[in-house]
Amino acid sequence: MTDEEVRAFLTDQMTVNCATAGRNGRPHLVSLWYVSVGDELHGWTYARSQKARNLERDPRATLLVEDGVQYHELRGVMMECDVEFVRGDELIELAVSLFARYAGTGPEVREMIEKQAPKRVGLRFRPTRIVSWDHRKLGGVY
């Protein structure tokens, strides 16, 4: 995919698979909601979640956004990322943009975010490497 196609794909999809390194060295793989901001993906999670604890030890993650059912339809973006935690007022704004994408906006959304924020952290995924594919472009030739 071109850079523009990658951005459009990330905007259109709704869930990212996030792999972090567990204490035992095995991948810990979970799905997250995200919002695309430039070349970064932003999300949030409980501060005491396994992924947050893993990222405190090793602030690297691999993300996968994929689509397609049949082999000739498969497409996706894999991102190796350095991860930064977001807290405080910046966390509130990150969560507002995230929830605007999935649940809309309004005072009740912001109120819910502000109530949850003390237990949460934002995650800013900054890609160091991006790999993409789109089997639809192969024309059935593999």
Q: What is the pLDDT of residue 98?
A: 94
Q: What is the pTM of this model?
A: 0.92
Q: Could you report the per-residue pLDDT of 57-114, keeping only the tens digit for each? A: 999 999 999 999 999 999 999 999 999 999 999 999 999 999 999 988 888 899 999 9
Q: What's the mean per-residue pLDDT of the chain?
A: 95
Q: Are 127 and 81 in contact (CB under 8 A)?
A: yes
Q: Are 85 and 55 in contact (CB under 8 A)?
A: yes
Sorting pLDDT into bands at 50, 70 and 90, what band is 139? confident
| 3-138 placed in CATH 3.60.130.10 | no
Q: Could you report the per-residue pLDDT of 120-132, keeping only the tens digit for each? A: 999 999 999 999 9
Q: What is the pLDDT of residue 127?
A: 98
User: What phi, psi does 116 have (nearest 5°)?
Assistant: -80, -25
Q: Could you report the per-residue pLDDT of 27-51, keeping only the tens digit for each? A: 999 999 999 999 999 999 999 999 9
Domains of the chain, residue spans: 3-138
Q: Which of 72, 64, 77 is nearest to 30 (CA)?
A: 64
